[in-house]
């Protein structure tokens, strides 16, 4: 199988899509042979990775990886790889990426290759609102040219399947296969601070992640709270707007930007906080939410992710974005918990996460998806 993904290890700024492919490869490489074509630098970086050799195939265990430099010659060689080599399946880890999705898709179609495409939440309502006109024009021509034909679209959940149908039409071929997450237990679970509720956010700083909305909500919180923000600043103008909001927050709210967080340190770091707070506009999966649950961290998120019915399961809150007062109530409720109530809360989260992420259902569903496209 040949995978195209704009960003891959050792990168991390590209967020969840990197984790999606890395977990897929690590759990199924004994049953599927992978070759990966990716960029030679991380999201937003002007220089390539220091520890890889660009524009040639290298080995990472059983997996072959080609780190493509941003040159015309290197990219044409990559497209020839798709068209000419004998791969059973071409797997595209995005819909909207021109260089790592659209052009490889055209090459795969010309070479009569079978294609699986994972949109990674790009069709969610929140994501479609960003640069909406450009996206609508691209999707119009994509559909008009009949490019959906012959593609098996991967949906991580039934919610994402509905998003794909809403944007591309009822006739598209969809297979629901949940992204693969791996359980990683925290080293320890700290006591809740009696004086201040510690909130944490880990993700790219971009409009889709909705950090500005989170900051606005904190204006109405009466409890003492701190909010630590980790992640690369993808949109500098958007972050400057967030800084204006931060400057206007009341004295009981402390916000700190903590920079990037190494993927290997995510669970260890966020386990030391009290609540994971991310009212995102939309996630097809949300690997960082899964990591927060692995850390035993109760979560407060929007209802635009597949992580639903959190209150019923006793592990957090999933709240509609048009009900900001409910977000405030959830934070106040967590702040008012006694130490004993809070420890029981975290025990429920850890127990739920341990059971959820120890199952092999997602692994088998992904393998079934590739078997499905091979049979077409």
Under DSSP, the state recorded for 205 is: B
Give the pairing of strands 299-302 and 275-278.
parallel
Please tell me the total number of residues recorded for the chain in this structure: 376
The pLDDT of residue 15 = 87
What average pLDDT does the structure give for the chain?
93
Ranges of residues in the chain with a pLDDT under 70 are 187, 194
This prediction's pTM: 0.89
- Contact present, 48 and 39 (Cβ < 8 Å): no
The pLDDT of residue 187 = 67
The pLDDT of residue 358 = 85
Give the whole-angstrom CA distance, residue 188 versus residue 236: 35
Helix, coil or strand: residue 1: coil
Q: Which domains does the chain have, with CATH numbers?
A: 2-179+359-374 (3.40.50.2000), 197-356 (3.40.50.2000)
Dump pLDDT digits (tens) for 190-243: 777 767 899 999 999 999 999 999 999 999 999 999 999 999 999 999 999 999
Closest CA to 172 of 158, 162, 182: 162
Residues 6+ apart with CB under 8 A from 102: none
The pLDDT of residue 264 = 87
Closest CA to 204 of 293, 278, 151: 278
Give the whole-angstrom CA distance, residue 104 versus residue 111: 10
């Amino acid at each position: 199988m040949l995978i195209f993904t704009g960003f891959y290890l050792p990168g991390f700024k590209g967020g969840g899509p990197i984790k999606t492919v890395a977990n897929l490869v690590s759990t199924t490489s004994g049953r599927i042979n992978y070759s990966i074509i990716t960029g030679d630098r991380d999201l937003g970086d002007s220089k390539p990775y220091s520890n890889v050799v660009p524009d040639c195939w290298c080995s990472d265990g059983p997996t072959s990886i080609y780190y493509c430099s941003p040159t015309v010659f290197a990219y044409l060689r990559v497209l020839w790889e798709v068209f000419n080599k004998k791969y059973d399946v071409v797997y595209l880890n995005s819909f909207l990426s021109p260089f790592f999705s659209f052009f490889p898709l055209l090459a795969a179609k010309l070479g009569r290759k079978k294609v699986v495409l994972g949109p990674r939440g790009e069709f969610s309502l929140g994501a479609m609102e960003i640069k909406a006109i450009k996206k609508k024009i691209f999707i119009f021509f994509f559909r008009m040219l009949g490019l959906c034909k012959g593609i098996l679209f991967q949906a991580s959940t039934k919610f994402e399947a509905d998003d794909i149908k809403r944007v591309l039409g009822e006739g598209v071929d969809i297979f629901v296969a949940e992204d693969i997450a791996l359980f990683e237990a925290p080293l320890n679970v700290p006591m809740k601070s009696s004086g201040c509720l510690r909130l944490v956010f880990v993700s790219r700083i971009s409009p889709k992640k909705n950090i500005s909305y989170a900051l606005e909500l904190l204006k109405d919180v009466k409890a003492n709270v701190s909010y630590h923000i980790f992640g690369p600043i993808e949109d500098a103008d958007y972050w400057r707007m967030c800084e204006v909001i931060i400057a206007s927050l009341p004295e009981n709210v402390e916000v700190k930007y903590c920079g990037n967080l190494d993927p290997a340190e995510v669970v260890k770091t966020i386990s030391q906080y009290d609540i994971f707070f991310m009212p995102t506009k939309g996630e097809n999966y949300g690997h960082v939410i899964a990591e927060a649950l692995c850390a035993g961290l109760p979560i407060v998120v929007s209802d635009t992710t597949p992580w639903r019915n959190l209150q019923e399961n006793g592990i957090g809150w999933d709240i509609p974005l048009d009900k900001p007062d409910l977000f405030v109530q959830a934070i106040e409720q967590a702040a008012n918990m006694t130490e004993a109530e809070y420890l029981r809360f975290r025990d429920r989260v850890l127990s739920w996460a341990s059971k959820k992420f120890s199952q092999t259902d997602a692994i088998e569903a992904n393998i079934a998806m590739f078997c499905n496209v091979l049979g077409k």
